[in-house]
Chains A and B, each alone.
Chain A
Amino acid sequence: MIDYYDRLESQLAHLTARGAHGRARTWRPTVPRVRLGLVAVVAAVLLVVAVGAVLLSAGTSHRPSHQVTTVRHGPPAVHNYYPGALPPPSGPLVCNADLEPPGTPPGIQRARHGMVFAYDKPPTGSEFTITATGLKPTAGGDVYAVWALPAVSLPSGGYQVIKPESPQLLGVIRPGVGSSGKLAAQGVAPGNIPPVLELVLTLQPHGSVERPGGIVLSGFAPL
């Protein structure tokens, strides 16, 4: 007679054979080389055209080089949908993690807490959502930002940040958090996201995102 443990064995063996564990541990699916090559060629052509246009423009207008207009791209945005609902996920769930204020002991849930979910975003991307409550409303030009710190999972089961000096900005929460103190935001993760990371929500004074501001919430995400 087939029992629970036999069905468990059967399902996990089937998932192993399908390579479900290989896909699950990859934050971003591999882009076919052909496509990467095509993207690289298109990007190179666009770069040449753009540089040429800027040089031509500078040359014909006889303006000093420091007056050449450049387009400055701001940090990526993590769109805050609250009080509306988050859009449906882009793909299968990759992982989720609790977000807690610094120094929160195990088993305790503070008034300020949150969760992060990561999803595949076919064919080449990844998407994450952050929900949180108990946040201080943004004011005076301050913004919330989401950062990723490369980490490793330890044999003991815990996690350890390995490069605290190399935070990666995933985006700035826009619009900011209102008087409800709640957040329901969605953003897109870059391709070079570390496989294991500490995800950190910070409050950035005056909108500056040169380095992480004060940590509001954080949690480890084994991708």
Chain B
Amino acid sequence: MMVLNAGRERWSDRELLSAIAERDGDAFTVFYRRHLPGTVAYLLRETRDREAVADLTAEVFAAIMLAAHRYRPEKDTAAPWVLGIARNTLGASRRRGRVEARARHRLGFEPLELEDSDLERTEQLAGEGSGRASELVESLPGDERHAVKARIVDERTYGEIASELHCSELVIRKRVSRGLARLREGMGGA
């Protein structure tokens, strides 16, 4: 692994994406390493196909690079945004019956060879992604854990969650915010 500019590793996702849009290759590297395990974990959980995951991951991060300038921080972390891009890439690939390659075409991306050892790395990354995130989510206090799962994982609106728990949206927003802050801290800043 290349030694990175330590400063960038402390940058938020918003700062990294802003720098990526301005051609900062090191910022891309930090962002990639931060979100690679979670992305691979999601894609492997959805497809159960390690080769397809490698291909899809390349397309997802190419799409992230292209979309970096459009990122509007609505949450403390860009993880839901990355997950949304992964979900869309997967959906488009399923509809077309082949792995989407539009973003890579646009970037002039050179195809990469995939070897057996890379498939093992896919599983390793997925383990890191799902294990670390799940562990951290489960370690949150009960009210924050419920709010984060409902908002981020299940993608329910603040209004729906507030209605279910008979409290105000503001309370739910605070719980989600506090929960994400703890997750970010646990994952080494984001």
**B26 CB, nearest partner CB in chain A, Å:** 7
> Cα distance A209–B85 when bound, in Å?
38
Q: Which residues of A contact B (CB under 8 A)?
A: 1, 3-9, 11-22, 24-25, 92-96, 98, 106-107, 153, 155-158, 222
> Cα distance A7–B114 when bound, in Å?
10
Task: Indicate if the CB atoms of B32 and A4 lie closer than 8 Å.
Answer: no
> B54 near A: Cβ within 8 Å?
yes
Task: Indicate if the CB atoms of B57 and A8 lie closer than 8 Å.
Answer: yes
Task: Indicate if the CB atoms of B102 and A95 lie closer than 8 Å.
Answer: yes
**Contact of A15 with B65 at beta-carbon distance under 8 Å, contacts A4-B54, A20-B108 already known:** yes
Task: Indicate if the CB atoms of A4 and B84 lie closer than 8 Å.
Answer: no
Which of A12, A14, A22, A95 is the most central at the interface, judged by chain B CB atoms within 10 Å of its CB?
Answer: A12
Q: List CB contacts (< 8 Å) of B41-96 with chain A.
A: 54, 57-58, 61-62, 65-70, 72, 81, 84-85, 87-88, 91-92, 94-96
CB < 8 Å: which of A11, A21, A22, A157 contacts B91? A157
Task: Indicate if the CB atoms of B25 and A16 lie closer than 8 Å.
Answer: yes
Minimum CB distance partner of B69 in chain A = A25
**A188 CB, nearest partner CB in chain B, Å:** 20
CB pairs A–B below 8 angstroms (29 shown): A4-B115, A4-B121, A5-B118, A5-B121, A7-B112, A9-B33, A9-B36, A15-B107, A15-B109, A16-B25, A16-B28, A17-B23, A17-B25, A20-B107, A21-B65, A24-B66, A24-B107, A25-B66, A25-B69, A92-B108, A93-B106, A95-B106, A98-B96, A106-B95, A107-B95, A155-B72, A156-B84, A156-B88, A157-B88
Task: Indicate if the CB atoms of A11 and B109 lie closer than 8 Å.
Answer: yes
List chain A residues, Cβ under 8 A from B107.
12, 15, 20-21, 24
> B150 near A: Cβ within 8 Å?
no
List chain A residues, Cβ under 8 A from B122.
5
Which of B21, B94, B107, B114 is the most central at the interface, judged by chain A CB atoms within 10 Å of its CB?
Answer: B107
Task: Indicate if the CB atoms of B29 and A3 lie closer than 8 Å.
Answer: no
Task: Indicate if the CB atoms of B118 and A3 lie closer than 8 Å.
Answer: yes
Task: Indicate if the CB atoms of B117 and A21 lie closer than 8 Å.
Answer: no
Interface string of B15-47 (1 = CB under 8 A from A): 000001101111111001100100000000000
> B125 near A: Cβ within 8 Å?
yes
Minimum CB distance partner of B80 in chain A = A155
> Cα distance A12–B109 when bound, in Å?
8
Q: Which residues of B contact A (CB under 8 A)?
A: 1, 20-21, 23-29, 32-33, 36, 54, 57-58, 61-62, 65-70, 72, 81, 84-85, 87-88, 91-92, 94-97, 102, 105-110, 112-115, 117-118, 121-122, 125
CB < 8 Å: which of B58, B66, B85, B87 contacts A21? B66
Task: Indicate if the CB atoms of B112 and A11 lie closer than 8 Å.
Answer: yes
**Contact of A13 with B28 at beta-carbon distance under 8 Å, contacts A3-B121, A94-B106, A157-B91 already known:** yes
Task: Indicate if the CB atoms of B85 and A157 lie closer than 8 Å.
Answer: yes
> Cα distance A106–B28 when bound, in Å?
33
Task: Indicate if the CB atoms of A8 and B58 lie closer than 8 Å.
Answer: yes
List chain A residues, Cβ under 8 A from B67.
153
Task: Indicate if the CB atoms of A11 and B110 lie closer than 8 Å.
Answer: yes
> Cα distance A9–B25 when bound, in Å?
10
> Cα distance A212–B113 when bound, in Å?
46
Minimum CB distance partner of B65 in chain A = A21
Task: Indicate if the CB atoms of A19 and B121 lie closer than 8 Å.
Answer: no
> Cα distance A19–B19 when bound, in Å?
11
Given A8-B112, A157-B92, 5 other A-B contacts at CB below 8 A? A12-B28, A12-B107, A16-B28, A21-B66, A92-B108
